[in-house]
Amino acid sequence: MANISIFPGKYVQGRGVLSELKEHLTAFGSRFLAVVNPTIGEETIERVTAALRRSLSEDELLLIEGGAECSTAEIERVAALICEKECDAVLGIGGGKTLDTAKAAAHFARVPVGIVPTAASSDAPCSALAVIYNEKGQLESRLRLRRNPDLVVMDTEIICRAPARLLAAGIGDAFATYIESRRCVLANGDTVAGGKVSLTAGGMARLCWETLRRDARRAMQAVRAGVCTQALENIVEANTLLSGVGFESGGKSAAHAIHDGLTWHPACHCMHGEKVAFGTLAELVLENADETELWEAFAFLDDIGLPITLEDMGIAQAVPAEMRMVAEKATAPGESIFNTNLTVTADAVYDAILLADALGHAYRKRV
Ligand SMILES: [Zn+2]
């Protein structure tokens, strides 16, 4: 099988770049539909709208409010509007579900898509993937798109004012990238991009990890103060572009599979990147990682404010039957956990999760 790397068409990041959006959109046409996530808050919506209007008139850019879920009905509604309003491309503005709705609607309407996140909370913006939910918010399917987004715009003037927890979650998601990719390389596993790990994607995963270790703590200080610094810029790029290409073409392994298992736990309602952070600790335990690396991971995630125990994720009591279900879901056929050169069983994952939790408590006692 070939090494395959896939990328977004263009990635633009910097202070105030949203005010220059038009110059990046002209390649797609002259009339655009933007789906705005209503849950990003009044203040952010006002700031985003003001920036967009500095660049595009009401004739050029039609703003609509996104629905609560990225559901089939919502995707069809947006795709129909793209055709009805004769738009040349669609933009998704805000967070996860709205971005995925824009990606999927563009896929079906066969127009280009631009992604404008208002926080760096996961590595999804750059990927050729949309997660579809039913109207009740339960996961329905994962849609593989023909290609990655044509444009991704990260305006750090807006992102630095997002809640600190969102940046932390993005750091949690990005922290897994290199640890999973290196395991996928050892296993000669397949990536989400449908090939083997390329030198480029593996290198981006490693650069992501180095950038996090150097700048993530300072970036958290910046976002708590609502200011944009070089460390924050570096972490926004690590969370979004380096981790985006790094996970999609660099390979996933146990951390994301354990995340998938945790989504089935009735008490675990935290963000994607928060569950991935704990999943990474469990992966390091499963792999019998080097002692220094293991404790560094606990220290790093705890400093950022990410979960290092089950309790941090809302699981106050590790009920054996519930934790067994998590381990079984994490080792279901097709899960990325089999991208490893170890023999993985539900029993081994169950034990790794419980030991990661115990080590998290031990770490807290020590510091
Ligand atoms: Zn992820």
CA of 249 to the centre of ligand 1 (A): 13
Residue 367 has a pLDDT of 87
6: left (phi over 0), alpha (psi -120 to 50) or beta: beta
- Confidence bin at 354 (pLDDT 50/70/90): very high
Residues contacting residue 345 through CB under 8 Å, at least 6 positions apart: 331
**Digit-coded pLDDT (tens) for 16-54:** 999 999 999 999 999 999 999 999 999 999 999 999 999
Clarify whether 265 is annotated catalytic.
no
Within this chain, domains 11-159 and 164-366 share the same CATH topology: no
**Over residues 147-160, mean pLDDT:** 97
**Domain 11-159 class, CATH top level:** alpha beta
CA of 122 to the centre of ligand 1 (A): 6
CA of 30 to the centre of ligand 1 (A): 34
Domain range annotation of the chain: 11-159, 164-366
Clarify whether 361 is annotated catalytic.
no
Clarify whether 155 is annotated catalytic.
no
Clarify whether 259 is annotated catalytic.
yes
Residue 256 has pLDDT above 80, yes or no: yes
CA of 181 to the centre of ligand 1 (A): 12
CATH topology of domain 164-366: Dehydroquinate synthase-like, alpha domain (1.20.1090)
**Catalytic pick from 100, 123, 155, 173?**
173
**Catalytic pick from 24, 107, 259, 265?**
259
- Confidence bin at 139 (pLDDT 50/70/90): confident
Residue 231 has a pLDDT of 98
**Digit-coded pLDDT (tens) for 306-339:** 999 999 999 999 999 999 999 999 999 999 999 9
With CA atoms as reference, report the closest residue to 37 among 77, 91, 88.
Answer: 91
